[in-house]
Amino acid sequence: MDMKKEYFALLLFTVLCSIPYCHSDSNGGATCATCGVIFGLAEQTAVIHNTTVVQSMEKLCSYLPIKFEALCRTFVEFIGPILFEILEENDTPDEICHKLGLCFVEKGRSCNLFPMKKEKAKFYHFSEDPILIKKTKHLNTFKLGADICDLPGIKEICNWIKNIFDNHDPAVDLDGDRHSVYETLRGYSWRGKDCNDNKKSIHPGARAINGDIDEDSNCNGIKGKDPSTGKSYETTFCSQSEPRGIAVLGDSISAHFHLPREWFNSTELSIANFEPLPYVGENELDWPALSYGTGFMNATEELSRIIHGHTDSIYLRLWERNRCNFRDYQNIAVNGARASSMVDNIENSLYRNVTGDYPLIVFYALVGNDVCNGHPDTISHMTTPAEMKNYATKTLQYLDANLPAGSYVFMTGLADGRVLYNSLKDKIHPIGSLRNDVTYAHFYDYFNCLEISPCTGWMNTNETLRNLTTKRAMELSAALQEVVNTTGPYKNFKVYYNENPINKVIQQWEAAGKQAWELLEPVDGFHSNQRGNAEIARVIWEELEKEWPETIGKVNPYNEKISSIFGNQGGYR
C-alpha cells in the first residue's frame, strides 16, 4: 500500500467533511464544499497569475509534494477537458461545481460559497426556469456523479482515508502495548515512543523492572547504576518521586485539529507551505505533538511555516516537575468524538497495565460535539443530559477497571461556543483572501446550507439558536458534575469536575485587551489554534496547582541530576 501518493485526495476529501462526522448533507454536501474550495483556490490563482482555470489547477498541483503532484495532475488531466467544454467566461467557482454536478439545487435552495454575480442569480434558483432545464440537459452529459469519491483514482483513496480516520490504534506496534516506534498513524505523535517494540512489558509509564539496571523499562531514558555507589539510578531518582503519566480522552480540540491557513489563502500558496502535507495527513489533520494536553515539541523549522506559536502542555509541565515522567503521555482523542463514541470504542484504545504501570491523570474532555452536529434540526440531535450521565458513568466504570490505583480523572465541562460567532462573524475567511468577499458569517451559512456544519448550533447567524446550544452545553456540563458528585467512590482513582478551560482562557485574553479570534483556528472557525492550546495548558495547570496539587505530584529534587547524567533522556523521536 503506497500511502504517500494518496494525500492529495486526502486533502480534497477530508478538508471539510471529516472535521466532525457528516451526519447528513444536502445540495451536494461535503463533495460540493470540497469542489467549491478547490475551484475557489484555482480561480483566484488564475487571477493572480493571469492564467486560465485549468492552467492554474496545474499550478496548484505543482505546489504539492512530488507524489501528490502526480496524482493531482492525473485529476487535472481528467477534469481539464470537461472544464474546457462546460466553462463559460466569468463562471464563479460555485457555478463550476454546479455544472460539474457536484453541487445541486435541493430543498428549493442553492448554496454558494462565493457571492453570486447578480445577472446569474436567477439561474440556480428557479427549477422551473426553461433556461435551466435546457442547460441541465446539456450538462447531464458531463455530470460526474454526486460523490467526489467516484472520480478516477480518488475512489481507492477515499477508502484508504476512511481506514486512517477510523483506526485509533498505532499502525505499527509489534508487541501490542499501543506504543509505537513510528511517528504518525497514531504512533509517537500521539503516545510516548516505545523504546522496545518487541517487549510488551517495556513502554512509557511502566514500573521499573529490577531498578532499570539493565534495560530502560519505562522509556524515560533513565537506566543503569551509579558507579560510585552501585545503586540503580532509576531507584535513586524516581522510586520516591511518584511518577505518573497523562492521558487525554477527547475530541478534535484535544487532538489539536489544525488546517493551515496557508493552504486556503490563495495569496499564500507555495511549495514550502505544502511540504508537511504527509505528516499532517497521517495524523488525521491533528497535531497531538503540539497540543495542550500531550504536546512535547515546538514546531520544527518546516512545520513553523504553518504553525504560529509555541507549544505548552500539561505533559511538558508534568515532565518539568518530575523528569521521571518522560514520554509518559497518551493522546486518545478523535475528531468528532462525543460521549457515546467514547464509550463505543475510543476509550478502549487507552493502554495502561493496572498492576504493572504508574498511575495516570486522565482528562475526559469532550468540548462540544455532544451539542454540535450538521443537522438542520440540530437540537433534536444533541446528546441529552440523561444520555450524558449514562455515557459518562460507563466511561468512569471502564476507567476504574483499567487504571492503576492512585490515578486521577478530570471530567471537563463543555465550552461556550458562542465566542466563535461573536468574534469571527465579520472577519474574512482565508478562502476569500483575494477579494475579501467571504466572511465567517457567510461561511457558516454555506456549511449550514449544505448541512455539513461541524456545529450548526453555534456556527449560525441565528442568535436564539446559538443561545439554545449554549443552554444545552451547560446542562450537559451540569450532568457531568452530577455524575462526579453522585457516583463512586472508585477504587483506582479520584474523580473531579473542572470547568472547561477555554471559557477562562477567552475571559483572561479579552481582559488583557486582546481579541478572542487570535486564539481560534482560521480555516474551520471552530477550534483553538496553537496559541489557544498553549493558553489552555497554562490555565489548566494553574488550576491544578491551586485546587488539586496532589494530582500533579511533588517536584522531584533529582531533576537536575537526571538532566546532567541523562541529557535529553533519549529524546522523543
Ligand X SMILES: *[C@@H]1O[C@H](CO)[C@@H](O)[C@H](O)[C@H]1NC(C)=O
Q: Which of 187, 281, 430, 553 forms a contact with ligand X (CB under 6 A)?
A: 430
Stretch that binds ligand X, among 146-154, 162-170, 217-225, 476-484 (CB under 6 A): 476-484
Q: Helix 463-486 vs helix 385-402: angle between axes, to the nearest 10 degrees?
A: 40
- Map the footprint of ligand X across residues 1-40, applying CB under 6 A: none
Residue 48 binding partner per list Ca ion, ligand X, none, with a CB distance cut-off of 5 to 8 Å that depends on partner kind: none
Rule CB under 5 A: choose which of 183, 216, 400, 535 binds Ca ion: 216
Judged by CB, which is closer to ligand X: 139, or 478?
Answer: 478
Tell whether residue 527 is a contact of ligand X (CB under 6 A): no
**Among positions 1, 2, 50, 564, the unique one binding ligand X when judged by CB under 6 A:** 50
String of contacts with ligand X for each residue 539-558, x by CB under 6 A:
--------------------
- The least distance separating Ca ion from the CB of residue 356, rounded to whole angstroms, comes to 12
Catalytic residue among 18, 26, 252, 528: 252
Calculate the CA 84 to chain-centre distance. 37
Q: Which of 478, 487, 490, 503 binds ligand X (CB under 6 A)?
A: 478
Specify the residue, 50 or 198, whose C-beta has the smaller distance to ligand X.
50
Nearest to 491 by CA among 572, 561, 402, 379: 402
Burial class (CB in 10 A: 0-12, 13-18, 19+), 141: exposed
C-alpha 282/C-alpha 6 separation (Å) is 11
Considering only 25, 69, 91, 173, the residue that binds Ca ion (CB under 5 A) is 173
In the numeric block, the cell 460535539 is attached to 369
* Footprint on residues 222-261 left by Ca ion (CB under 5 A): 222, 234
Report the residue from 242, 475, 482, 543 that binds ligand X according to the rule CB under 6 A.
482
**How far, in Å, CA of 270 to CA of 364, rounded?**
38
| Interface with Ca ion, residue 445, by CB under 5 A | no
Q: For Ca ion, give the closer residue by CB, 189 or 469.
A: 189
Q: Taking the complex as a whole, how short is the minimal distance between the CB of residue 149 and Ca ion, in angstroms? A: 33
Give CA–CA dist 523/506, Å, rounded. Answer: 19
State yes or no: residue 559 binds ligand X (CB under 6 A): no
Where in 432-461 is the site for ligand X (CB under 6 A)?
A: 433
Around Cβ 61, how many Cβ atoms within 10 Å?
A: 18
Using the rule CB under 6 A, is 298 a contact of ligand X?
Answer: yes
Count CA within 13 A, CB hemisphere, residue 447.
32
Window of 52-60, 103-111, 134-142, 176-184 that interacts with Ca ion by CB under 5 A: 176-184
Candidates 33-41, 207-215, 401-409, 485-493 — which segment interacts with Ca ion by CB under 5 A? 207-215
Per-residue contact flags (x/-) with ligand X for residues 355 to 374, judged by CB under 6 A: xx------------------
The answer to whether 254 is a known catalytic residue is no
User: Can you tell me which residue has the cell 463550476?
Assistant: 96
Burial of 181 (0-12, 13-18, 19+ CB in 10 A): middle
Burial class (CB in 10 A: 0-12, 13-18, 19+), 244: buried
Query: For residues 276 and 522, which CB has a smaller minimum distance to ligand X in the complex?
Result: 522
Q: What CA–CA distance (Å, rounded) separates 74 from 358? A: 52
Whichever of 223 and 261 has its CB closer to ligand X, that residue is 261
Rule CB under 6 A: which of 72-131 touch ligand X?
none
d(CA 351, CA 194): 13
Q: Which does 183 bind (CB under 5 to 8 A by kind): ligand X, Ca ion, none?
A: none
Residue pair 414/473 in contact (Cβ under 8 Å)? The answer is: yes
Query: Which residues does residue 362 pair with via DSSP β-bridges, in sequence order?
Result: 247, 409
Q: How many residues does the chain have?
A: 573
* CB neighbours of residue 296 within 10 Å: 23
For ligand X (CB under 6 A), the number of binding residues is 29
Cell reading at 550: 496532589
Rounded Cα distance between 446 and 110, Å, is 10
- Nine-digit cell string for 43: 480561480
**Smallest distance from ligand X to CB 155, Å:** 33
Task: Kindly list the distances between the CA atom of residue 353 and the CA atoms of 205, 243, 517, in Å, as whole numbers in the listed order.
Answer: 9, 15, 42
Chain contacts with Ca ion (rule: CB under 5 A): 173, 175, 177, 179, 194, 196-197, 202-203, 212, 216, 218, 220, 222, 234
Binding residues for ligand X, per CB under 6 A?
50, 200-201, 261, 265, 267-268, 297-298, 310-311, 316, 353, 355-356, 428, 430, 433, 462-465, 467-468, 478, 481-482, 485, 522
Residues annotated as part of the active site: 252
